[in-house]
Structure 1
Amino acid sequence: MVTCCLAQKNRVKNEDQAMAYLNKYGYLDMKGGMPNSQEMKTALEYFQRFANITMTGCLDSETMAMMNTPRCGMVDMDSPADMMRKKRYALGSRWSKTELTYRIINRTPDLPANEVDRIITESIEKWADASGLTFTLVKSGNADILISFAPGSHGDDNPFDGPGGVLAHAYYPSSNAIGGDAHFDEDERYTDASFSGTNLEWVAVHEFGHSLGLGHSQIEGAVMYPYYTGYVPNFQLNSDDIAGIQAHYGENVGEPENTPSTPVDKCMTSITLATRTLDGSTYLGNATHLYRRTDGSIPDGYPKVIGNEFLGLPTALDAALYYPRNGKTYFFKGSQYWRFRNQRMDNGYPRPMSNWRGVPKDISSAFIWSRNGKIYFTKGDEYYRYTPGYGVTSHYPQPLSQWDGLPSHGVDAAFQWTNARTYFFKGSEYYRFNDITESVDDGYPINTATAWL
């Protein structure tokens, strides 16, 4: 049985303890005895690569600090060959169904019972929002995922070790009675929306990822990254987490247009800016203001002036682009562009558009197409395909009319959403483009304001 444990104690202080750590998490196989110096060096390099730190092959201070960082106790690799895989989500076993039940057996006294229930429900629903899964809370009897809080030995041959050690563990889906269950160490002090104590939401979302069959990711911003991050305001699944859960269970067929609508007269009637950010937010705006969308709703206080949300940006932007490979969001206007990590501008911006070789100034939209991972820009009735490091592909621009179902005279904004569909905005309407069939889905265009805002 595979179990996941979130460990927080600083335990590695010397080479022997480092060796035990590497063995525990799958970087070193000590079944045949003590490793030689080359095997130890290779194991350290594997660990450093997985942790995204400098690969020295030595037990240096950076490596020691990473080993003593709060983390999940599930192995990172089943074998060294796993290091050859792409730095992304890993998949374990999966449920053979998509309609799952969960039951909260008991609750920590650290928080009011209704708050615990809310956090647990919101945590598990994050995975439902991103996938084809649905969850039903049951009050009694058996359930696919049983959730409990207990200290020390609690009946599963994986006892907790008191405060500050193992925080929680969960089991991959299986036919065994314990498959999918998540256990939380009651010796910890669980908190909500606080940087102190142990943030219950983060731990719960991570553990439920394992309950659904996800292994560890090497992407630092992913919740399935092995290392505990604590409280994260406006916490969202990373695109890598979403890709993992959808690889197991498909995407959520519910679209943003199915959410409760806002009267049109209280919304922007047209969108000229659309993008995402690393923290999971979706932004839709016009020349002066923008809305932020999180968890399928608009937080209080929006719309905001563009420069108040993204300090340093001008108004009347041409386009925006979220690039998942580096977690950056780019904004374009005229002959300049800006680069942000979430809502913070990187140093040294704005920079000239000439850095994007072959891309014209005054573009209309920018997006990544999931079919090939390339960056696309539109300007008027033409589009450009761009490859980082090389520039615009030869024989471009091409007529936008090649995109079946889109308005051939141009679009106002575009972006790729979390469901791997590309959304194009024109006037007061938007088009959902199916990147698999390479055509606009049936039933589009749809009114933007009532569907998104």
Structure 2
Amino acid sequence: MMPRLVVLLLGCCLAAVGSMAAEPIETQEQIWTFMKKYGYITEENMVNGMPKDEETKTKSITYFQKMGNMTMTGTLDEESMELMNTPRCGMKDMESFADMMRRKRYALGPRWRQTDLTWNILEDSDDLPRAQVESIMARAFKAWSDVSTLTFSKVTTNEPDIKIIFAAGEHGDGIEARFDGGGGVLAHAYFPTSNSIGGDAHFDEGERFTEGTSTGINLFQVAAHEFGHSLGLRHSDIEDALMFPYYRGYVPNFQLHRDDIAGIQAHYGEGNGQPEEPDTPSTPLDNCMPQISLATRTEDGSAYFANETHVFRRTSNNIIPAGYPKRIGDEFPGLPTNLDAAIFYSPYTYFFKGSQYWRFQNQEMAGTYPRPMSDWRGVPTDVDSAFVWSRNGGIYFTKGNQYYRYTGRENSFYPQPLSHFRGLPSDGVDAAFQYSNSITYFFKGSDYYRFNDSTVMVDNGYPLNTAIQWLGCDPNELLGPPADTGGDATVMVPSMVAVLFSALSAIYYAF
């Protein structure tokens, strides 16, 4: 965690050097204006500019604290107020309550269809000469092109792909986007869209932009961050990542964080650069995964369990082959890391990440992918899990504490509360799938839940440990002496209830 006092003092200094100072956030009205602006609360959850109830207030503050890597107390303490007054990007941090708790490091927005992009500065900065600003912008673009398939060209036209302006106050893109002077919002940018403003980056002339010094605001770092948005990256909750929403101060010898690299490569491919390994071991405890974020099956009868970077496999005869876990891209060539969810719908397995999805038949990509999630009408982006429910054969997705049923069209009946699936964690699940025994399983943290379709609730005796029961991990390393549970992955004979509902899977049940 960055020292908050240093950041706060930085903000005070910035306020002094700009042409006017951003007003500090102190009052309840200012606090909740900030929370609404950055997506931590919506208009529908407010009454007279305040949270509609204590639960909404606590939830909003908790998500703000999670994004800022603070202790999630649910109350606005001194540390929270210091971060709220830290210079930052003007883009939203989250789109909904559910978005924050399911966030998996970097987050993706829309992307450019092409990888060869043009840029031009249409309104100059008063702080630095034009030639110096152009050089800084070129280096900021190069930070992204060095690790992806993207290329950037400076042009002289007034209609490049990415238009760059320096402006103060209200500057043509709406009163809500007006700049606030030194020490507040430093800049903002727009995701790639078909609109004329899509991809554009705007910098607040109320700041004093500098190069190569700890005084003022380092223009290169701010520009590289904003261009991340111009290319389709949302804010990251990794504090050392460039796409973290708050300004960190001047960083000599700046380099992109592995989280930034993984995000841009998920959108545009790897190019010449390679993301570093995650900052925590991907397969700790002697190549075992204490937690998973994805579970699915393939046509050949295999079951797969994955974390952010690696995948375990169980064969159709319930054996874990040698050589696992493997890198996700080694088992499924063409897939990125940090996947959100997957689902097996015979004969294909579909993988989901952000606003895109991929289709595989066993271990081979089946078609030209990725494709946009808009193909799945009525299903949101950034889902948490996906499964075919063994009760009715329907396709379901979860996101946060809600679930959706895919029907091939927009359906106003969804989303519905995940609490309908009684006994599951109240804040959502990490993964789900229907196993070969026709039973639906849900996964959260280090645990899993077996769902009983006849009672529409989790079976008694659950949750159990995922790594022990499904991945064959050593219980002495994970939990100490194991309980005599028998487990589910080793019990391959389905129950009579499971058989019954499997036979009825073609019958429609409204749920």
TM range (shorter): 0.5 to 0.7
Aligned to 1:26, the other structure's residue is in SS state coil
Aligned to 1:183, the other structure's residue is in SS state strand
Superposed displacement of residue 189, structure 1: 1.0
Superposed displacement of residue 395, structure 1: 10
Residue in structure 2 matched with residue 223 of structure 1 by the alignment: 242
Superposed displacement of residue 371, structure 1: 5.7
**Letter aligned with residue 30 of structure 2:** Q
**Letter aligned with residue 324 of structure 1:** P
**Counterpart pick for 1:372 among 310, 319, 328:** 310
Q: Distance in 2 between matches of 1:356 and 1:96?
A: 41
Residue in structure 2 matched with residue 15 of structure 1 by the alignment: 28
Answering whether residue 50 of structure 2 is matched by residue 96 of structure 1, we say no
**1:404-419 alignment runs, 5 A limit:** none
Q: Distance in 2 between matches of 1:38 and 1:135?
A: 47
Q: Distance in 1 between matches of 2:103 and 2:44?
A: 27
TM-score (structure 1 length as normaliser): 0.55
Superposed displacement of residue 129, structure 1: 1.1
Aligned to 1:18, the other structure's residue is in SS state helix
Name the CA shift for 1:373/1:52 in 2 (closer, same or farther; >3 Å): farther
Residue in structure 2 matched with residue 55 of structure 1 by the alignment: 72
Answering whether residue 196 of structure 2 is matched by residue 242 of structure 1, we say no
Superposed displacement of residue 39, structure 1: 1.3
Aligned to 2:120, the other structure's residue is in SS state strand
Residue in structure 1 matched with residue 37 of structure 2 by the alignment: 24
Residue in structure 2 matched with residue 125 of structure 1 by the alignment: 142
Residue in structure 1 matched with residue 182 of structure 2 by the alignment: 163
TM-score (structure 2 length as normaliser): 0.49
Q: Distance in 1 between matches of 2:309 and 2:235?
A: 25
Aligned to 1:62, the other structure's residue is in SS state helix
**1:295-374 alignment runs, 5 A limit:** 324-326=278-280, 372=310
Superposed displacement of residue 323, structure 1: 5.2
Gaps of 5+ in 2: 1-10, 16-21, 288-306, 313-319, 328-335, 338-362, 365-511
Answering whether residue 92 of structure 2 is matched by residue 75 of structure 1, we say yes
Q: Deviations over 1:390-414 (max 9, x none)?
A: xxxx999x8xxx99xxxxxxxxxxx
Name the CA shift for 1:17/1:160 in 2 (closer, same or farther; >3 Å): closer
Superposed displacement of residue 370, structure 1: 8.6
Name the CA shift for 1:371/1:240 in 2 (closer, same or farther; >3 Å): closer
**Letter aligned with residue 372 of structure 1:** H
Residue in structure 2 matched with residue 387 of structure 1 by the alignment: none
Identity %: 49
On the 8 A contact 2:86/2:184 being kept in 1, the answer is: no
On the 8 A contact 1:10/1:69 being kept in 2, the answer is: no
Q: Work out the number of aligned pairs and report it.
A: 282
Residue in structure 2 matched with residue 361 of structure 1 by the alignment: none
Name the CA shift for 1:121/1:26 in 2 (closer, same or farther; >3 Å): same
**Letter aligned with residue 64 of structure 2:** F
**Letter aligned with residue 201 of structure 1:** F
Residue in structure 1 matched with residue 193 of structure 2 by the alignment: 174
**Letter aligned with residue 24 of structure 2:** R
Superposed displacement of residue 81, structure 1: 0.7
Residue in structure 2 matched with residue 202 of structure 1 by the alignment: 221
Q: Deviations over 1:106-154 (max 9, x none)?
A: 4323223322111100001111111111111102342100112122332
On the 8 A contact 1:19/1:40 being kept in 2, the answer is: no
Name the CA shift for 1:38/1:146 in 2 (closer, same or farther; >3 Å): same
On the 8 A contact 1:15/1:59 being kept in 2, the answer is: no
On the 8 A contact 1:167/1:184 being kept in 2, the answer is: yes
Residue in structure 2 matched with residue 115 of structure 1 by the alignment: 132
Q: Distance in 1 between matches of 2:101 and 2:90?
A: 22
Q: Distance in 2 between matches of 1:356 and 1:216?
A: 31
Residue in structure 2 matched with residue 233 of structure 1 by the alignment: 252
**1:239-318 alignment runs, 5 A limit:** 239-252=258-271, 254=272
**Letter aligned with residue 266 of structure 2:** A
Superposed displacement of residue 245, structure 1: 1.0
Gaps of 5+ in 1: 1-5, 257-279, 281-321, 328-354, 359-368, 375-393, 404-418, 421-435, 438-453
